[in-house]
Amino acid sequence: MPVLANIGCLATCAAAGGQGDVHLVRRAAVAWEGERLAWVGREEELPERWRRAERWDAGGGLVLPGLVDCHTHLVFGGWRTDEWVERLRGRSAFDIARSGGGIAATVARTRALDEEALFGRAAGFLEEMARLGVTTVEAKSGYGLEPEAELKLLRVHRRLSRETPLRVVSTFLGAHALPAEYAERAGDYVAMLVAELLPRVAAEGLADACDAWVEKGAFTTEQARRVLLAGRALGLGVRLHADQFTACGGARLAAELGALSADHLEAVPQEGIEALAGSGTVAVSLPTSALWMGLAPTPARALIAAGVPVAVATDFNPGTAPSYHLPLALTLACVLQRMTPAEAVKGATIHAARALGLEEAVGSLEPGKAADLALFDAASVEEWLYHFRPNACRLTVAGGHAVWRAGETKR
Ligand code: NIG
Ligand code: FE
């Protein structure tokens, strides 16, 4: 039962207060027992029993809850470097998708890999994410788009959660794109998802939530509603890829369904913001993806002003955000979305936990919650995100165990 002491600045990131209230504690210490936090506060107030415990020295650094990346497409085959270069030359993403590239290209590369190969790749990504201070990662299927391939991806999620030190939350995104086998038959595909695939996913306990992409060229609000209602009836949380390229009713649908989150929202209209206000749904912003696709950023200021909690995540995927660097996404949230560093930090801790329905378990440093935390070489939240460094994380603790210590490897 170690104590991490000599912390210069700790942000508990407890839910109370506004987006920017991260609840700072100066000269802090944190103690844990097994997998759970036991005490958090000013070091001079550390109870006697903890003073005799094993002491880890934070060197005056910044301690945050283990970061929560609440939106990734973690498990996929191959990359799309070729398409990126084509887009740089001026070809549009829609044009690339029309000729069989885009999501379809990744689907082919993902179907071609077996469970073991997909697991190995994703476990490698998770190891790198842990080095950045991330301890919880949401992962979406959606690159299988046929029953066996989707189940394969979801089984990889479950294995990642069991066999790596990080917490992996599994989301079923069968309604990501229409597979070629169902061209012009979106209704049949949706019917298959509802009647065949979702019941199997639920029966095997392979997903925590259900997601759908509402967009021109993907699925309509009607089709997404059918899938999400079926998922909800089977006990899954509801999430939505909403208003990414065009305003097509995604935010409104998320609010109507009482979704855990509405994600992207680069093109959300004012009426979508109004629908989200008071719905309890978290707006998940994905600034790396907006930057990569040249989209206007998610209007975080308008969402915050309307009282909507805003999370920040990477959207890690081979097409629109080939980066799992969550601290980089947080700096981009500041620069592009005009969020303060404190607001961004709350977006990758308690608000992100809430987007996953895990706000009672992770996302803040409070006794009883998971002993997930990260130590950064910075004097403050502001200094951490200002410097834009490759990696300022010195120590990551997940479930009470150190899973990364800077200096221990050759990197
Ligand atoms: O979140 N918007 C849809 N899906 C992904 C992109 C997937 C891909 O291009 O492979 C996203 O941006
Ligand atoms: Fe996404």
Alpha helices in 1-146 (DSSP H): 48-51, 81-88, 93-98, 103-111, 115-131
Taking alpha carbons only, the member of 293, 336, 290 closest to residue 314 is: 290
> Which tokens belong to 351?
């608000």
Helix axes 147-163, 115-131, angle to 10 degrees: 40
CA distance 72 to 141: 9
Is residue 161 classed exposed, middle or buried when 0-12, 13-18 and 19+ CB atoms within 10 A define those classes? Answer: middle
Mean pLDDT within 292-308: 97
> Residue 10, SS3?
strand
Query: How many CA within 13 A on the CB side of residue 200?
Result: 15
Whether pLDDT at 410 is above 50: no
Atom of ligand 1 nearest to the CA of 319: 9
- Mean pLDDT, residues 94-106: 94
State residue 1's pLDDT score: 78
Q: How many angstroms does the Cα of residue 400 sit away from the middle of ligand 2?
A: 30
Closest listed residue to residue 378, CA positions, set 365, 394, 367: 394
Ligand nearest the Cα of residue 250 is 1
Closest CA to 169 of 201, 147, 137, 192: 137
Is the confidence at residue 72, as pLDDT, over 90? yes
Look at residue 407 in the predicted model and tell me its pLDDT: 83
Summary mean pLDDT of the chain:
97
State the average pLDDT over residues 285-304: 98
Q: Tell me, what's the pLDDT at 388?
A: 86
Reported confidence tier of residue 408, pLDDT bands at 50, 70, 90: low
The arithmetic mean of pLDDT across residues 350-360, rounded, is: 98
Contact 297, 337 (CB under 8 A): yes
Long-range CB contacts (within 8 A, 24+) of 300-304:
300/333, 300/337, 300/338, 300/339, 300/343, 301/337, 301/338, 301/339, 302/270, 302/273, 303/265, 303/268, 303/273, 303/276, 304/18, 304/19, 304/339, 304/343
Rounded Cα–Cα distance for residues 300 and 309 (Å): 9
DSSP state of 217: T
Q: Quick one: which atom of ligand 1 is closest to the CA of 318? A: 10
DSSP string, 321-383: B----HHHHHHHHHHHH---HHHHHHHTTHHHHHHTT-TTTSSS--TTSB--EEEESSSSHHH
Nearest CA to ligand 1 atom 3: 213
Mutation to probe ligand 1, out of 111, 295, 320 (largest number of atoms < 8 A from CB)? 320
Cβ of 243 below 6 Å from ligand 1: no
CB of residue 298 inside a 6 A radius of ligand 1? no
CATH for the 3-65+363-405 domain, from 2.30.40.10, 3.30.565.10, 3.90.960.10, 3.40.50.300:
2.30.40.10
pLDDT, tens digit (0-9, with 9 covering 90-100), for 304-325: 999 999 999 999 999 999 999 9
**Structural contact between residues 55 and 334, judged by C-beta atoms closer than 8 angstroms:** no
Closest residue to atom 8 of ligand 1, CA basis: 319
d(CA 346, CA 352): 8
DSSP per residue, 255-289: HHTT-SEEEE-TT--HHHHHHHTTT-PEEEE-HHH
Average pLDDT score over residue span 130-154:
98
Contact 92, 83 (CB under 8 A): no
> Relative to the CA of 263, which ligand 1 atom is closest?
1
300 has a pLDDT exceeding 50: yes
Distance of CA 402 to the CA centre of its chain: 21
Residue 147: name the closest of 189, 184, 105 by CA.
Answer: 189
CATH architecture of the domain covering 67-355: Alpha-Beta Barrel (3.20)
pTM recorded for the entire structure: 0.98
What is the 136 CA–ligand 1 centroid distance (Å)?
Answer: 20
Torsion angle of the four alpha carbons 157, 163, 166, 171, in this order, in degrees rounded to the nearest 10 = 10
Q: Which residue carries 């120590």 as its tokens?
A: 395
Provide the pLDDT for residue 411: 34
Which residues, by Cβ under 5 Å, contact ligand 2, an ion?
A: 315
Q: Is the model's pLDDT at 409 over the cut of 60?
A: no
Q: What is d(CA 379, CA 188) in angstroms, rounded to the nearest whole number? A: 56
Query: CA-CA distance, 390 to 365, in Å (whole number)?
Result: 25
Q: How far is the CA of 267 from the centre of ligand 2 (A)?
A: 15
For the chain, the domains span 3-65+363-405, 67-355
Find the ligand nearest to 142 CA: 1
pLDDT digits (tens, 9 = 90+) for 185-237: 999 999 999 999 999 999 999 999 999 999 999 999 999 999 999 999 999 99
- In this structure, the residue with its CA closest to atom 11 of ligand 1 is 320
Is there an atom of ligand 1 within 6 Å of 285 CB? no
